[in-house]
Amino acid sequence: MKSSNDTKQKLIDVTRQMIDESGVDSVSMRDLGKEMNLSRSAVYVYFKNKEDLLAAIVTEDFEILKSRIGKLIKEIEDPRELVYEVLYTFYDFGINNQEHYKLMFLKQWDKNQYDNLHIAAIEVFGIFYKCLEKPHEQKYTVNKPPKQLSAMVSSFILGLVELNSAGHLESEKGLDDPTALINSFIDLIFV
């Protein structure tokens, strides 16, 4: 017999698949119950509503992103290369998971109601901070505190993902080469 946690994770996995195939708007608790051979009310045993279910997915998404970036931190010694790879990984995640990205960064989640999600998001921001703290201490970055540099880096990469997701890749605007833009941005923060 399946445990309650197995069923809950399966609900998350099936919802993730629904999002990946048809977008967030395609998710309904009724359809999810049908897909899982559960009554609609049985789905509500595990998640109080659709937002609660989506928050669980977003929390997992932040954990996935954190894991990918954490691996880079263990593998790359050069601070500039590390920041580039972290930003590119973040960019790649956003471009290849656009519906998830929207839920992660374009929706305001109540941090009191979804504290695990908030903690996971703060931990991703903390990775930016960690990547910039050491080079800042060694005077390799512009004279801004690591927290402010982290906010700048986050804003830049989120904006780049958003622009590219919306189809703004025009060469006349200089947006046709995200890799070059990431490198140029790094040139601005590393001295």
pLDDT single digits (tens) 38-80: 987 889 999 999 999 999 999 999 999 999 999 999 999 999 9
pLDDT, position 1: 41
Query: Picking from 1-15, 38-52, 114-128, 147-161, which range would have the lowest pLDDT averaged per residue?
Result: 1-15
Indicate if 58-189 has the same CATH topology as 1-47. Answer: no
Round to whole Å and give the CA distance between 128 and 154: 8
DSSP state of 104: I
Round to whole Å and give the CA distance between 100 and 161: 12
pLDDT single digits (tens) 101-127: 999 999 999 999 999 999 999 999 999
The architecture that CATH gives domain 58-189 is Orthogonal Bundle (1.10)
pTM for this structure? 0.90
56 closest CA partner among 4, 2, 10, 122: 10
Confidence at 2, pLDDT banded by 50, 70, 90: low
CATH no., domain 1-47: 1.10.10.60
% of the chain at pLDDT higher than 70: 98
N- to C-terminal Cα distance for the chain?
60
The domain segmentation of the chain, as residue ranges, is 1-47, 58-189
